Amino acid sequence: MTIELPSQMHWSRWGDPEKSHPVSETMRGLIEAFLGPLEERPAVALAEVRLPEVGLTEDLLAALRGLVGDEHVHTNDEWRVARTRGKSTPDLLKIRSGDASDAPDAVVRPLDHGEVAAVVSWCVDNEVALVPFGGGTSVVGGLAARRDGYAGVIALDLRRLTRLLAVDPVSGTATLEAGLLGPEAEALLAQHGLTIGHFPQSFRYASIGGFAATRSSGQSSAGYGRFDSLVMALKVATPLGDLVLGSSPANAAGPDLRELVMGSEGAFGVITEVTLKVRPVPEVKVYEGWRFDSFAAGADAMRRLAQGRVMPTVLRLSDEAETSVNLARPDAVGSESAGGCLMITGYEGTPDQVSRARAASTELLTEVGGTSLGEDTGQAWAEGRYDGPYLRDALLDVGVLVETFETVTFWSNLANLYESVKAAIEQDLTSQGTPPLVLCHISHVYETGASLYFTVAAKELPDGLAQWLPAKAAASDAMIAAGASITHHHAVGQDHKPWLASEIGPVGVEMLRAVKERIDPRGVLNPGILIP
């Protein structure tokens, strides 16, 4: 099994700069047909980025160095910029303009759980805010701590916590340190013939700890499950001491505190170790394209698969607009599906498992009106499944504002949610004089419902951030009004926090606040994130 290991994430773009390419002339023509003439909007050079002065005193920095070693506390501009915010479009718009006002005073790189716990305790004693930093892929403002009232802010970079600590092949579990990125974890497990099966679009750059802290869901969730469903045990460094959870596959020993940690985004503690359910590396992987006449017809087919428990490993459906745009790209495969909606199914496992799952899915999908487009279409999707963020960077370079957001609801409410959110985002951006292109797909499916993942593109105004924020608010308001969740797998951060209270209600808010106040009374853990 060959796994491509990641390089350093670019400071103002997604991923590996070697894989970044400008918009082609063909693609530019397609975009201008939708949005009008484009204009160059390059990012500033690194030397032009504006950072605040380091706020931590030399005495405090010396104490930090004593905890993790001189060479693992960084205060130079390059390190601080590289650990500033995440990779949402608002984050990128700020850093591309040279705004690094949220930069940490120092980047601190502990080696293991003991050093993490020591740094957490030090931050409490010295009232220094701490932002856990894994792969830096947050898209909800989850990595920009509130600075007011603190002696300083540090980014706790967990990228030295990269060990596979234990493998239990009998139980089918493995314990990994939180700083491992997706490909690194898979490479270590592959040596034992195992896989997690968690492959979100951020897979190459997101970390094991980050997956747990945000309740991530991968593109193979139909077969392997969400990341939180795979978590068997956790080790967490908190201001009150170590929290060790997960002594059995399931129990009735009160509320499951693992669920309290997962999704907490570092607000209750720093996850250092995660024990996961793992499975054998699949012998066979087959991906296939299908065409449905409409988004509604395709969604109904997905529901029938889920409720009939006939689930491929990968199951996703693009609406008419997303299908049209994807098929208009010069590298598109399967253009014969134009005029409908493209579904991708994927099957992984032993040859017998794949054969049986594919046969059962094919029978049902054909019965409800689907038309197979063959393996070329599915394989083309699989080969480009991680490349979307690179295209976003290229579009930002030519003045196209692009962002994504997602939600989830029950099947009976899916069509209403889709229409409501789409209408809200179109109305807001059109009122600003920038009518958008709105695309959507379903990529996570359950017996009772499914997620909707929207991509929005519009011509960028001079202040792209001021343009996007009211549009995002309009979409979020529509989600709550429709009775859906504010997020399915992107977490809360700062961006979704204004709507969290409406989703969980006043009692839920008080419960979160009570936990925060008890476990982190000085509020040093990622302040300003999650808690309404």
Dist CA 362 CA 358 (whole Å): 6
Amino acid at 468: W
Question: Which DSSP string corresponds to 118-135?
Answer: HHHHHHHHHT-EEEEESS
Instruction: Output the CA–CA distances (angstroms, integers) from residue 328 to 19, 283, 511, in the order listed.
Output: 22, 33, 49
Q: Establish whether 269 is an annotated binding residue.
A: yes
Structure tokens at 241: 């001491």
> Which of 197, 195, 186, 201 has its CA nearest to residue 224?
197
Whether the Cβ atoms of residue 108 and residue 157 lie closer than 8 Å to each other: yes
Pairing between β-strand 437-442 and β-strand 341-349 as defined by DSSP bridges:
unpaired
Q: Does the annotation flag 151 for ligand binding?
A: no
On whether 425 is known to bind a ligand per the annotation, the reply is: no
The answer for residues whose C-beta is within 8 angstroms of residue 262's C-beta and 6 or more apart is: 212, 213, 215, 228, 231, 234
Phi/psi of residue 255, nearest 5 degrees: -60, 145
Q: Which of 150, 347, 386, 453 is catalytic?
A: 453
Residue with tokens 């960084």: 74
390 is catalytic: no
Is position 214 annotated in a ligand binding site? yes
Please count the CA atoms within 13 angstroms of the CA of 116 that sit on its side-chain side: 30
* DSSP β-bridge partners for residue 438: 456
Q: Is 266 a known ligand-binding residue?
A: yes
Q: Is 137 annotated as a binding residue?
A: yes
- Give the three-state DSSP class for 73: strand
Q: Strand 106-108 and strand 153-157: pairing?
A: parallel
Instruction: Tell me if 231 sits within 8 A of 263, measured CB to CB.
Output: no
Any binding-site annotation on 508?
no
Q: Is 349 annotated as a binding residue?
A: no
Question: Where are the extended beta strands (E) located within 192-310?
Answer: 194-195, 231-238, 241-245, 270-277, 279-280, 284-292
Q: Please check if 36 is assigned to a binding site.
A: no
How many whole angstroms separate alpha carbon 237 and alpha carbon 107? 18
Any binding-site annotation on 134? yes
Instruction: Report the relative pairing of strands 153-157 and 270-277 from DSSP bridges.
Output: unpaired
- Least Cα distance to 492 among 531, 452, 530, 453 occurs for 530
Residue type for position 235: K
Is 283 annotated as contributing to ligand binding? Answer: no
Residue 223 assigned to a binding site: no
What SS3 string covers 417-459?
A: HHHHHHHHHHHHHHHCCCCCEEEEEECCECCCEEEEEEEEEEE
Q: Tokens 């034992």 correspond to what residue?
A: 192
Pick from 51, 159, 77: nearest CA to 115: 159
CA torsion sign for 24, 25, 30, 32 is: positive
**Which is nearest to 385 in space by CA: 219, 222, 223, 225?**
219
132 is in an annotated binding site: yes
Q: Is 392 annotated as belonging to a binding site?
A: yes
Question: In sequence order, which residues have a C-beta less than 8 Å from that of residue 531 and are 6 or more positions away?
Answer: 267, 497, 512, 513, 516
* Residues of the binding site for FAD: 132-138, 214-217, 265-271
Q: Which residues are catalytic?
A: 453
* Residues of the binding site for substrate: 392
* Residues of the binding site: 132-138, 214-217, 265-271, 392
